[in-house]
Amino acid sequence: MLSNLVLYFCNYLVKMHNLSLKTCVLRRISNHRPIWKMNTLITKHDIFRFASNMIPSVEESPKWLDASDRNAFSDLIDSFIVYNDFITEDEERSLMNELNPYMRRLRYERDHWDDAIHGYRETERRQWNSENSSILKRVSNIAFPPTVSKLAYVHILDLEKSGVIKPHIDAVRFCGNTIAGLSLLSTAVMRLTHEEDDSRRADILLSRRSLYIMRDKSRYCYKHAVLDEKESMFMGQKIERDRRVSVIMRNEPNSDIARS
Ligand code: OGA
Ligand code: MN
């Protein structure tokens, strides 16, 4: 396997650089001795560049991230994170027990296809029972440094089974650099698409009971969308969508932007 890879490297380098390889000796990588011995001008840099073109990054891709290319990968690996199983089933139940009585009184909005979100109802909440306050405290501790001012109201977005969030960037007037969301009741696929180059994109698996944190580059330079049930695929696998409730914390907008 390794020797095939080495041959592949050689072929690639010969093709790309029009070099003729005369000798090429593979040494065991594990003992960190030089990998190549040859009478050509192939440098370690060439090998590295080849390797990093073949795979998104030398860093291993997390299981929840499927990036279109290594630019998207490197943008997102530093600015987006998913914590799977951030809350337990009991904690999910506790949040839903507090939210459901209120949400049930609202109608799902379905009429305006132009809107960014379709098939949803939403609210904001400031006061929580003590168990849920401590869950949200955990979210806030992991998402926001202590000096950051959080929005006092937590946003609750309830998407029905067929609901969808179309690609958008949250308004900079109303939200700072960080968006942290718990996904309740259903797994979903979030698609990030670079605002200026829509070939640069990534799908993100938001598992039920996970927490995602989107900040900086992923928040400002990528549109985010939550795919509808028909489109919900991740790494070629169908992802069943159901009603999904997200509990989203954001920080205050940058004060200069908010005033303008
Ligand atoms: C939004 C949004 C994402 C989510 O409300 O602006 O993008 O996880 N929500 O529900
Ligand atoms: Mn949004």
Q: Report DSSP letters for 47-73, one per residue.
A: HHHHHHHHSS-SSPPPTTEEESSHHHH
Q: What share of the chain is helix, strand, coil (3-state, %, to 5)?
A: 30, 30, 40
| Amino acid at position 34, single letter | P
Predicted confidence (pLDDT) per residue in 50-94, tens digit? 454 454 445 789 999 999 999 999 999 999 999 999 999 999 999
The pLDDT assigned to 67 comes to: 98
- Ligand 1 contact via 157 beta carbon (within 6 Å): yes
Percent of residues, the chain, with pLDDT higher than 90: 72
The string over 55-77, giving b where at least 16 C-beta atoms fall within 10 Å of a residue's C-beta and e elsewhere, is ebeeeeeeebbbbbebebbbbbb
- Ligand 1 contact via 186 beta carbon (within 6 Å): no
Least confident of 24-33, 187-196, 226-235: 24-33
2-17 vs 44-54: helix crossing angle, rounded to 10: 110
State the virtual CA torsion across 69, 74, 75, 81 in degrees, nearest 10.
110
The string over 206-226, giving b where at least 16 C-beta atoms fall within 10 Å of a residue's C-beta and e elsewhere, is bbbbbbbbbbebbbebbbbbb
- Ligand 1 contact via 250 beta carbon (within 6 Å): no
Average pLDDT, the chain: 83
**Strand, coil or helix: 103:** helix
- Ligand 1 contact via 181 beta carbon (within 6 Å): yes
Rounded Cα–Cα distance for residues 32 and 51 (Å): 17
Predicted confidence (pLDDT) per residue in 237-255, tens digit? 999 999 999 999 999 998 7
Least confident of 23-27, 116-120, 191-195, 197-201: 23-27
Pocket test of ligand 1: the residue of 158, 159, 170, 218 to mutate, having most ligand atoms within 8 Å of its CB, is 170
Stronger pLDDT, 219 or 22, i.e. the higher one: 219
- Ligand 1 contact via 82 beta carbon (within 6 Å): no
Q: What is the pTM of this model?
A: 0.78
Q: Which atom of ligand 1 is nearest to the CA of 155?
A: 5
Rounded Cα–Cα distance for residues 80 and 211 (Å): 11
